[in-house]
Structure 1
Amino acid sequence: MEHEQAAARAGVVIRELRELGEFEQVYRLFDEIWHPEPANAPVTVELMAGFAHTGNYVAGAFAGDAMVGASVGFLAADRSLHSHVTGAVIGKGVGYALKLHQRAWCQERGLERITWTFDPLVRRNAYFNLVKLGARPEAYLTEFYGAMADAINEGDASDRLLAVWRVHEEEKEKEGAEDAYPLVREADDGQPLVAEDARGRRVVLVGTPRDVERLRRQDAAAAMAWRMAVREALGGAMAAGARVTRFTEGGEYVVVMNERAR
Structure 2
Amino acid sequence: MAVVRELHEIAEFERVYALFEDIWHFGPGDPPITMEMMVALAHAGGYVAGAFEGDRLVGGSVGFLAAGGALHSHVTGTAAGRGIGLELKLHQRRWALERELGRITWTYDPLVRRNAHFNLAKLGARPQEYLPCFYGVMGDAINQGDESDRLLAVWSLTAPHVAALARREPVAAQVPPDAVIALADEGGRPAPGSPDADTVLVAVPEDIEGLRGSDPGTAKAWRHAVRDVLGGLMAEGRRVTGFSGKSFYVVEKV
What range describes the TM-score normalised by the shorter chain of this pair? Answer: over 0.9
Tell me the residue number matched to 2:126. Answer: 136
Tell me the residue number matched to 1:73. Answer: 63
Report the Cα offset of residue 178 of structure 1. 2.7
Tell me the residue number matched to 1:205. Answer: 201
Measured in 2, the distance between the counterparts of 1:250 and 1:110 equals 32
Change (3 A) 1:250 1:57: closer
1:117 to 96, 107, 112: 107
* 2:189 is the alignment partner of 1:191: yes
Tell me the residue number matched to 2:46. Answer: 56
SS in 2 for 1:213: helix
* 2:163 is the alignment partner of 1:165: no
* 2:228 is the alignment partner of 1:229: no
* 2:3 is the alignment partner of 1:13: yes
- Contact persistence 2:139–2:146 (CA under 8 A): no
Coordinate RMSD, CA, aligned: 1.3
Report the Cα offset of residue 171 of structure 1. 3.9
Measured in 2, the distance between the counterparts of 1:55 and 1:165 equals 20
- Contact persistence 2:181–2:201 (CA under 8 A): yes
Tell me the residue number matched to 1:246. Answer: 242
SS in 1 for 2:89: helix
Report the Cα offset of residue 61 of structure 1. 0.6
Report the Cα offset of residue 38 of structure 1. 2.7
Measured in 1, the distance between the counterparts of 2:93 and 2:249 equals 24
Q: Unpaired runs of 5+ in structure 2?
A: 163-171
Tell me the residue number matched to 1:178. Answer: 177
Report the Cα offset of residue 64 of structure 1. 1.3
Q: Unpaired runs of 5+ in structure 1?
A: 1-9
Measured in 2, the distance between the counterparts of 1:171 and 1:18 equals 33
Taking structure 2 as the reference length, the TM-score comes to: 0.93
SS in 2 for 1:91: coil
Report the Cα offset of residue 144 of structure 1. 0.5
Measured in 2, the distance between the counterparts of 1:61 and 1:257 equals 39
Measured in 2, the distance between the counterparts of 1:80 and 1:140 equals 19
Deviation by residue 1:177-220 (Cα, 9 ceiling, x = unmatched): 432111111112x110112x433x11111000000000111000
Measured in 2, the distance between the counterparts of 1:153 and 1:161 equals 16
Report the Cα offset of residue 175 of structure 1. 4.0
- Contact persistence 1:177–1:205 (CA under 8 A): no
- Contact persistence 1:140–1:238 (CA under 8 A): yes
Taking structure 1 as the reference length, the TM-score comes to: 0.90
Report the Cα offset of residue 250 of structure 1. 4.3
Measured in 1, the distance between the counterparts of 2:189 and 2:67 equals 40
Task: Give, as a single letter, the amino acid of the residue that structure 1 aligns with 2:234.
Answer: M
Report the Cα offset of residue 118 of structure 1. 0.5
Measured in 2, the distance between the counterparts of 1:170 and 1:163 equals 17
Deviation by residue 1:126-169 (Cα, 9 ceiling, x = unmatched): 00000000000011011110111201112211000010001213
Task: Give, as a single letter, the amino acid of the residue that structure 2 aligns with 1:225.
Answer: A
- Contact persistence 2:201–2:251 (CA under 8 A): yes
Tell me the residue number matched to 1:4. Answer: none
Q: Number of residues paired by the alignment?
A: 245
